Amino acid sequence: MRLRLSNTFRSLRVRNYRLFATGQLVKLTGVWMQFTAQDWLVLQLSHHRPTALGTVTALQFLPVLILTLYGGKMADRYDKRKLLIVVNAAFAAVAAVLGVLVATGDVQLWHVFAVAAVSGTINAIEGPVRQSFVSELVGRELLPNALALSAATFNSARIIGPAVAGVAIGWIGIGPVFLANAVMCVGPLVSSIRMRPAELYRREPGQVASRDARVIDGLRYTWHRPDLVIPMLLVMIVGLFGFNFPVTLAVTATTVFHAGPQSFGLLSTALALGALGGALAGSGRRSRPSIYIVLTAALVFGVLETLVGFAPTYLAAIILLVPTGFFMIYFAQAVNQRIQLGADPEFRGRVVALYMLVFLGTTPFGAMLIGWAAEQFGPRSGMWLGGLASVLAAIVMGVVQLRRADAEIGVHMRPRPHVYVREPAADGRVIDFRMPAIRPAAR
């Protein structure tokens, strides 16, 4: 057990990464507290209209469509640590403005919309810089583990934040929750300042993007890499339809189960608890995950989300949300690791930005679409429609991959039942990918 734990958290031995993870945990806990309180506040200000939730979610992610690729270009050209200091200072200032508005009782719905748009603009720059900065905090050998622990940090905050927010809203009101987030957003700013630049894993001069590096160069590079294009297309569709839990959970909690703020927070916590398990499950990975791990995780996630959409009771929904969260992050983390470990260093910032664009940039459209579906076809429809779309996307992308790789799929019953995918390798070998064990074995 000690060896297992040591391997799981081995990236935390690196001081700079430890500071980074600590700052992110503090900030993200506050952010998830705000998200929970914000959804509740929007429902109150809009008289429980699902489209209002869809609008605020769209405004948070719409800037991703416009600025994320530019953020990736900046990540390839400039000092990522200094960029993170600037954007985190801006984020803390915006959080403080919203906290004061809510605490004084002067907040209006358009205030929440405006702050969501500004925060989304900051996140569009911060996201690709932060994601690609992990490769400078640890060496390549530790990068899969560091990426998994970053996802675990994110989902630990998703567990703590909604639970604390749900209790705090019921006891002391919404205002203090927003003010607490404003204070906690200073965490990554302090962590970035305390890092030791000399201990960063800077790239060699020949691997750094030149000053005239262009966004279009990153797009062309990715287009000629089918091993990057297929997971990006898959994550785009799943992100568009399946990853709209800020909308679907809030609508389900209030209109289907008639839950209060504490119960709403518990649904988010159940999803985040499973997501934390999914992130930790990928922390032991030492190499680039295969595309079949990505496809399988997306398929299972879609099936589970569909079942959540038809959950007959509040307790059943909580139980199903745990494995749904597990495979949601297991899928997203496998895609992230496959893309970052497959991209050349001089293009990594722009490739990660494109990944975030297709992953998060689809959310504005998905949030509006899912919100509309919930109003037209019932509050449960947003959940099960997202699940079915994810299942279909996994099947279609799986067929494309099998045909592209000239692979075959089958079932072995002995010595133990498993599904396998067999494809020829470039060096003439035959590679078997076994599922559900999902361990590649060359022969």
Q: Could you tell me the pLDDT band of residue 205, with boundaries at 50, 70 and 90?
A: very low
Does the pLDDT value for residue 210 go beyond 70? no
Q: What integer is the mean pLDDT of 241-269? A: 76
Nearest to 311 by CA among 328, 295, 297, 323: 323
**pLDDT confidence of residue 206:** 40
126 or 253, which is more confident?
Answer: 126
305 or 62, which is more confident?
Answer: 305
Phi and psi angles of residue 439, each rounded to the nearest 5 degrees, phi first: -120, 120
Alpha-carbon gap, residue 152 to 402, rounded angstroms: 31
**pLDDT confidence of residue 303:** 95
Does the pLDDT value for residue 431 go beyond 80? no
**pLDDT confidence of residue 382:** 80
pTM, 2 dp: 0.69
Per the prediction, the chain carries an average pLDDT of 80
**pLDDT confidence of residue 68:** 82
Alpha-carbon gap, residue 104 to 244, rounded angstroms: 31
Nearest to 240 by CA among 392, 122, 88, 379: 392
Beta bridge partner(s), residue 409 = 421
386 or 159, which is more confident?
Answer: 386
Instruction: Enter the tokens of residue 355.
Output: 């990944």
Q: Could you tell me the pLDDT band of residue 443, with boundaries at 50, 70 and 90?
A: very low
Distances (CA, A) of 388 to 159, 238, 382, 383: 26, 10, 10, 9
342 or 265, which is more confident?
Answer: 342
Distances (CA, A) of 385 to 39, 366, 373, 414: 21, 11, 9, 37
In the chain, % of residues over pLDDT 70: 84
Alpha-carbon gap, residue 201 to 178, rounded angstroms: 36
Does the pLDDT value for residue 215 go beyond 90? no
Q: What is the 3-state secondary structure (H, E, C) of 110-156?
A: HHHHHHHHHHHHHHHHHHHHHHHHHHHHCCHHHHHHHHHHHHHHHHH
357-397 pLDDT, tens per residue? Answer: 887 767 667 777 877 777 778 778 888 888 999 999 999 99
**pLDDT confidence of residue 60:** 81
Which amino acid appears at position 1 of this protein?
Answer: M
Alpha-carbon gap, residue 182 to 25, rounded angstroms: 14
Q: Could you tell me the pLDDT band of residue 145, with boundaries at 50, 70 and 90?
A: confident
Q: Could you tell me the pLDDT band of residue 10, with boundaries at 50, 70 and 90?
A: confident
159 or 402, which is more confident?
Answer: 402
H-run or E-run covering 435: strand 430-435
